[in-house]
A = this chain, B = another copy of it.
Amino acid sequence: MLIARVVGSVVSTQKNGKLEGAKLLLAQPLDLDGKDRGPAVIAIDAVDAGVGDRVLLVLDGKAAMLALDRGLAGVDAAIVGVVDAVDIPGEPARR
């Protein structure tokens, strides 16, 4: 998984039936200093995250779909956790 920041959301009315009811969030991967790292991706929320949260981002179809509620499919990315802190021994905790 990558650490990412939820920076927005995506609205899609005309979508595949397997995605009905999915909450589409825009997640920007971060490096350990909290800076943007590569492009933002669209991920399905599997943990009730919101804009501004620092989260755990899964990038794998099978893993993402297993984390989601029964009935959702056709998905290759999911948000599976909200990060409280990153602890690196010898450095202050990054909350």
Q: Which residues of B contact A46 (CB under 8 A)?
A: 16, 74
Q: How many identical subunits does the complex contain?
A: 5
Q: Contacts A18-B66, A75-B58 known; A86 to B48 CB distance under 8 Å?
A: no
How many residues on A have C-beta within 8 angstroms of the other chain's C-beta atoms? 56
User: Which of B18, B64, B86 is in CB contact (< 8 Å) with A74?
Assistant: B64
The answer to whether B83 and A73 have CB atoms under 8 Å apart is: no
User: Which of B39, B42, B63 is in CB contact (< 8 Å) with A75?
Assistant: B63
Chain A: interface secondary structure? mixed
Binding site for B on A (CB under 8 A): 1-3, 7-16, 18-19, 24, 26, 31-32, 37, 39-43, 46-48, 51, 56, 58-67, 73-78, 80-89
Q: What 6 additional pairs, Cβ within 8 angstroms, besides A12-B81, A16-B47?
A: A1-B76, A10-B56, A24-B56, A58-B76, A60-B76, A61-B63
